[in-house]
Chain A
Amino acid sequence: MITQKPIFYAGLLALIIVLPFLFPTYGVQLAAMWLMIIVAMTWDMTGGQMGYNSLGNIFFYGTGMYVAALVFIGFSHDIGQYTDASGGGSFQFTDAQYFTGLFLGLIAAGFFCAVSAVVIGMLIFGLRGPYFAIGTLAVAIAAGELVSNWDWVGGGQGIALPIYPGDIDVGKKFFYFMFAGLGVSVFIFLKWLYTTRFGAAINAIRDDEEKAEAMGIHTMWYKLTTWAISAFFVGIAGGLSAFQLIHFEPLESAYQTINLGIFMVVCVLLGGKGTLWGPVIGAIVFHLFKEITWAYLLGWQWVALGGLIVVTVVYFQDGFMGWLKHQKPEWFGIRVEDSSTGKAGTAE
């Protein structure tokens, strides 16, 4: 099992690289799948590993979009004039301006969202359980409404960005690999983070926060840091989406609480909360399900999606990975007492 791991990961990486070349017509959908994986993995940091179910992570997605777009525009032009003309043809970006602005925008989006997570977190991390969920949802909804009434950033019209300079197919692959690169980075980062004391501490907060406090763990610091890291990645993903979508507006695409904001939670529930692979598997299954029903069951797609959520919540409360953990605990290094001898399983 151990020796097969590098081969498994190498194969996976190869698959990720050849995927857009195998299915060139699905470039956009594949990038969207990576977006789903990223938001699901980062949602699970607080929701699954730390026990704080946020319904407001979409706030960082939307804010990431806006920050990235504004930094991008501001790098080359005057933002007020640009949004006034709704990005109409009169504003040109050279290739150098496009790519420099894009990378600056993404980095700014990540850091801005991380800082806002700390600020918002200080206000609402006193809330627990459903109150925290509703509190975060309120933040996302309020942000959407505020931005749609703010003319300087385009108001309800949103912002139109220039299309990728160059060949359209190359552009699709560019965004695919940007999302894939971000997704793989998040995965590797979390795989490491969950093995550290940091990972153990946020698990302790999830299992019994009062006990963690009584043991002297700096709970607030851990909660803020976790959410800030999560927001950092979501912000970058939001920024990438802004450039991929070309045009976005506040309520339907940026602060889309009822779509992506809920989908990321469903992905994690499907795959299994609090596991490394659960959100990844959940996001892939969910995305395939969504694309297939949207293509073949048009008109009924929301019903099918609702059905999927009901089945998951009623029959697979621990998600796929949770179910697997119960079936094959030894695969996860969990030892079960041998009832015949009363002794624990032998150590490695």
Chain B
Amino acid sequence: MTKIIEVSNVSKSYGGVIANKDVSLSVKKGTITGLIGPNGSGKTTLFNSIVGYHPIDSGSIKFENNEISNLQVQEIARLGMLRTFQQTRIYGEMNCVENMLISLPHRKMSWRDRFASNTKTDYERADHLLEFVGLYEKRFLRSGSLSFGQQKLLEFAMALMNEPTVLLLDEPTAGINPTLINGLIDRLKRANTEFGITLFIIEHNMRVIMNMADTIYCLAHGEMLASGTPDEIQNNQNVVDAYLGAH
């Protein structure tokens, strides 16, 4: 399988704090890859580096074999790599359908398309995806009035609307009602298999990530501690120590 994201020796520090040190990893096309690690281990920093939120100090980040570490957020998003936010970000004043329609893939639009109205197909796709995440009943409600969990589902649906090739999800299950988590796992898996989207997921919930991921990377203190299949990670003494504070 081809590597769609390849991170090599990336370092990033904020002033004196080293957030990522010499981190290397790769995400294979069509898989679900997990990124775990204790709080403050540099997971979100790595995500931000990959999507171009801030420049990296050294190293290289490649997307589909092209160097992207010097590109801006929008440019990377237009290549087809999207991220969702840990603190959910939706357009709160608009209803769910409007949120979905804004998320149409602008990279595929000519400037004339930008002045066009949304087509019937756009509306159908929006409705279909809202149904997929279970928000169809709420589609005309102001999205800011939805619960936090529902907003996360909406943000996920918006990301799917954008037809990405890779989706980076920052803690998709945090703050979601435990009974809804199983449904979300199922939908993430279906996004991977049915829509063919490569997923790269930061997750704190071990049950969730062990259930979904093909490969897992574990960060601790900004450095790559371990990588492997869920089984290998679960049985890795270093990982267990890092989580229990022995490291």
Pairwise interchain contact B105-A200, C-beta atoms closer than 8 A: no
Q: How far is the CB of B56 from chain A (nearest CB, A)?
A: 18
Contacts A197-B101, A198-B115, A208-B91; A215 near B106 (Cβ below 8 A)? yes
A301 to chain B, nearest CB (A): 36
Choose among A201, A207, A344 the residue that contacts B140 (Cβ–Cβ < 8 A).
A344
Knowing A214-B83, A215-B162, say if A334 contacts B74 (CB, 8 Å).
no
Interface size of A in residues (CB-CB distance below 8 Å):
29
**B77 cross-chain contacts in A, Cβ below 8 A:** 213-216
User: Which residues from chain A contact B115 at a C-beta distance below 8 Å?
Assistant: 193, 196-198
- CA–CA, A207 and B89, complex, Å: 10
For the complex, give the distance between the alpha carbons of A347 and B95 in Å.
13
CB of A217 within 8 Å of the partner chain: yes
Complex: A198 Cα to B116 Cα, angstroms: 8
**Cα–Cα distance between A197 and B112 once the two chains are bound (Å):** 10
CB distance from B238 to the nearest CB of A (A): 33
B4 at the interface (CB under 8 A from A): no
Q: Does B242 contact A (CB under 8 A)?
A: no
Question: Which of B74, B89, B91 is in CB contact (< 8 Å) with A218?
Answer: B74
In the bound complex, do residue A215 and residue B103 qualify as a contact, i.e. CB atoms below 8 Å apart? Answer: yes
Give min CB distance, A104 to chain B, whole Å: 27
Give CA–CA (A344, B77) in the complex, Å: 33
The CA-CA distance from A204 to B137 in the complex, in Å, is 23
A326-345 with Cβ < 8 A to chain B: 334-337, 343-345
Interface check B109, CB cutoff 8 A: yes
Give 26 A-B contacts (CB < 8 Å), ordered by A residue.
A196-B116, A197-B101, A197-B104, A197-B113, A198-B114, A200-B118, A201-B102, A204-B91, A207-B91, A210-B89, A211-B91, A214-B73, A214-B77, A214-B83, A215-B106, A217-B74, A217-B102, A335-B141, A335-B142, A336-B141, A336-B142, A337-B138, A337-B145, A344-B137, A344-B139, A347-B140
User: With A200-B101, A214-B77 given, can you name 15 additional A-B contacts, CB distance below 8 Å?
Assistant: A197-B109, A197-B113, A197-B114, A201-B102, A201-B106, A208-B90, A211-B85, A214-B51, A214-B73, A216-B74, A217-B74, A219-B74, A336-B142, A344-B137, A344-B138
Chain A interface residues (CB < 8 Å from chain B): 193, 195-198, 200-201, 203-204, 207-208, 210-219, 334-337, 343-345, 347
